[in-house]
Structures are given as C-alpha cells and as structure tokens.
Amino acid sequence: MKHRAAIFWGIVALSVVLSAVFYEKVPETMASHWNTGGEPDNTMPKAWGLFLLPCVLAAMALMALFIPKIDPLKANIALFRKFFDVFMLLLLGFMLTAHLFVLLWNAGIRISPNYVFPAGIAALFYYIGVLCGVAKRNWFIGIRTPWTLSSDRVWEKTHRRARPLFKISAFVILGGTFLGESVVYAFLVPVIALVSYLVVYSYLEYRREPHPAP
C-alpha cells in the first residue's frame, strides 16, 4: 500500500465519474433507500442522489489517511498499518458498490439489494476478524471499550476472542441472502450479540487484573 493515497482518491474520483456518466440517465427524484423487501421506500433530489456518496467516500478517504497520523498511539497503528489500509480499501470499495447500485437502480437496472449488501457486509465482517488478529491498542481502530483502552492485556484478549466471532458472523450475514424480507435479522442479531458479548467480556477481563486499593 505504498500508493495508498492515490488508490483511495482514485476510488473517490471513480465515484464522481460514475455520477457524471449516469447524470442524464437518472430521474430528478432518485430512490435512495430500500426496505427489507428490496423495494425503495425513500427518495432524494437528483443532486444529492448523485453526489452524496462521493462526498462520504471523500470523508472516509481523509479519515483513512489522517487517523494513523493523529492517534496518540500511532506507533502501535504502524505495526498493523497494511492491514488497516486493506480494510479501508475494502470499505471504500463497498461504498463505491453501494453508489453504483443506487445509480443502476435509478437508471432502470434493478438488482435486489438483498443480494448486494449482505455480501459486501459479510466481506467486511470477515476482514474485521482478520484485523482483530493483528490490531494493537489505539484510540480509533478496533474494539474500543474503557477496559480495552486501559490495558494491553485486555485489548489483546478481547481481540483474540473477537477474531473468530467476526468471521463466523460474516457467514451468518452472508446466509441472509436466502432469508428474503428477514435478511435484516441476519445482520442485526449477530451485530447486537457480538457487541454485547465483547463489551461484557472486556469488562470481566479487566476486573481480573490487579488494581491498587483506593
């Protein structure tokens, strides 16, 4: 990822190019949100529909480039920077895919969001599992609870426990493509369960550490 900035900004530029290509092909009022049945249930003006996600992509590219520089524990981020860069590349790619989906749908090419988005989210979750295996304690990237941020041991144990759980969740989410209108549960149930478990786990691990009496 020596050319990370060029790659990230290239994805942003591609999203703008796609908007320009589809400018004459989409209506003045664009579908912008879809329900669990895969049908649009909200709209926005054409200008927002074309350029909102490119703006989001630009903000994400800035975050990807500046977070490793401004974190007080940036030396720790440097130890797993290439894995973070790959994650941000996947995240930007997912958002670019979402942007293309919106453009295609509004241009009359209808692909079910219940196939597109679970696959993309599952890929992100799987790689978060990979990232958990290498992430060192920092303020921006990883499972940041008061207890993981207070102890390297708790950070390491929590992320070691999270690594397989995120990968398993990825397959559960991917399986949601076969659930029709219930696809949202294949995402919400693993996320809520995973977050709740890891918060409690990090707290209990911190409680096991010796602390000076008040």
Average pLDDT for residues 172-177, to the nearest whole number? 86
Strand-pair category, 29-34 with 40-45: antiparallel
> Confidence class of residue 209 from pLDDT cuts 50, 70 and 90?
confident
Residues 76-118: tens digit of each pLDDT: 999 999 999 999 999 999 999 999 999 999 999 988 888 889 8
Distance between CA atoms of residues 42 and 33, nearest Å: 5
The values of phi and psi at residue 132, to 5°, are -60, -25
DSSP 135: P
Q: Which residues pair with 42 in a beta bridge?
A: 33
Every domain of the chain and the residues it spans: 1-111, 112-214
Q: Which residues pair with 43 in a beta bridge?
A: 31
Distance between CA atoms of residues 189 and 209, nearest Å: 31
Average pLDDT for residues 158-176, to the nearest whole number? 94
Distance between CA atoms of residues 141 and 201, nearest Å: 18
Residues 9-53: tens digit of each pLDDT: 999 999 999 999 999 999 999 999 998 788 899 999 999 999 999
- Look up tokens 């049908």; give the residue: 39
The values of phi and psi at residue 34, to 5°, are -125, 145
Write out the DSSP string of 103-132.
HHHHTT----HHHHHHHHHHHHHHHHHHHH
Average pLDDT for residues 190-208, to the nearest whole number? 95
Asked if residues 14 and 96 have their Cβ atoms less than 8 Å apart, the reply is: yes
Helices and strands in the chain: count of H runs, count of E runs:
7, 2
